[in-house]
Structure 1
């Protein structure tokens, strides 16, 4: 079922467009030395945004205080706006029965986009 949902996500849920946005953002951020940690987080979110079904977000063990500081900077500069855009898409998709699974994935992406440092994305068992 996961492959079917992922294919529908790419086509109907906007997954490919979101993937491209995070990928381009990550590439642009990696052009500067200061932007590399933020670009890497964009790549993490891009991977989840392309195929979100069957993946989960976990807290990374041993998160550092540097990650906390970077999360605060991320939230202030871009995180809140990215979070709000995913929540807006989730609310719109939740208006239809078919869109509810896609809305849940947008909420998952919103939580990762709000504070990506110190988070891991892994395949769900089963």
Structure 2
């Protein structure tokens, strides 16, 4: 299964992963320049790593996320989240136009929720997804 995930990740990286990671990195750099938004920059760089190599990993809600994450997500949504969500939609459209790109288009659309509200979520291996149960 790890071989399949690696092949999917390499194809993903070529077709859209690098471009989306650059978008998240630019958002992170802007957040670091503004100083007060450094926590958003950290989240943006974390998501950039996830977008580069997504297969075999998933996101889960952190149990210790509270009201600050909720408020932060609203701020993120207004200033950066919707731009990144639009970028996911824009990169998924050409992927849907080819037969081989359809699974990658769906994977791209599945990343929209974390692009809209990244705070209070954690990126984990799919092997660890239900480890707490």
With normalisation by structure 2, the TM-score equals 0.84
CA distance in 1 between counterparts of 2:33 and 2:86 reads: 26
Pairing 1:54–2:65 present: no
Match of 1:3 in 2: 6
Gaps of 5+ in 1: none
Equivalent residues of 1:45, 1:109 under 8 A apart: no
- How far apart are residue 84 of structure 1 and its match? 2.0
- How far apart are residue 25 of structure 1 and its match? 2.6
Pairing 1:64–2:63 present: no
- How far apart are residue 85 of structure 1 and its match? 2.1
Runs of 4+ that moved beyond 4 A: none
CA distance in 1 between counterparts of 2:85 and 2:126 reads: 23
Match of 1:27 in 2: 29
Which runs of structure 2 are paired with 1:1-126 in the superposition (5 Å)? 1-11=4-14, 13-125=15-127
Equivalent residues of 1:58, 1:119 under 8 A apart: yes
- CA displacement, residues 44-102 of structure 1 (integer Å, 9 cap, x when unaligned): 11011110111111111121101101111111112112112212322331232201121
CA distance in 2 between counterparts of 1:40 and 1:70 reads: 13
Aligned residue pairs, count = 125
Equivalent residues of 2:24, 2:84 under 8 A apart: no
CA distance in 2 between counterparts of 1:87 and 1:21 reads: 13
- CA displacement, residues 4-42 of structure 1 (integer Å, 9 cap, x when unaligned): 11111111x221122223223313322333111110111
Equivalent residues of 1:2, 1:54 under 8 A apart: yes
Equivalent residues of 1:90, 1:103 under 8 A apart: yes
With normalisation by structure 1, the TM-score equals 0.89
